[in-house]
Amino acid sequence: MFYDIHPFLRPLQAADGVLSIRKPYGGTGPLAPEDGMATYEFTWTMGDLLNPLCANGFRLHRVAESPPCNPRFWQDYSYEGQEDQRLSDWRINPLAAILAWLTVSAQKL
């Protein structure tokens, strides 16, 4: 079983209510750091995550996609005193229209 950020969310960004693509969905990496740090990022597509399970004798039991539990997800888990509830509204924050979490359960046959 694994639980991670939904792959569809990773290439997107929102600014001033406009959704745009910041990197290709299929560009899995290594991706150079945007902040000048000495780390590199790898991202995965749904196929990158699920196909190896199937190819190695696993049976998928469940694939669940879910939204964040609260708007702090969109505030980068900020420790500000209040949650900005508006960030959960996709009309204000277009990223909120996309499910944020992916959970996969599989069993080796």
Amino acid at 45: T
pLDDT value, residue 54: 94
CA distance 20 to 35: 19
Does the pTM of the predicted model rise above 0.85? no
DSSP string, 62-103: EEEEE--SSGGGGGTT---SS--GGGG-TTTSGGGGS--EEE
- Residue 47 region by backbone torsions, left for phi larger than 0, else alpha for psi between -120 and 50, else beta: alpha
Q: Read off the pLDDT of residues 30-78 as tens digits, 9 standing for 90 and up.
A: 777 766 677 777 788 999 999 999 999 999 999 999 998 888 888 765 6
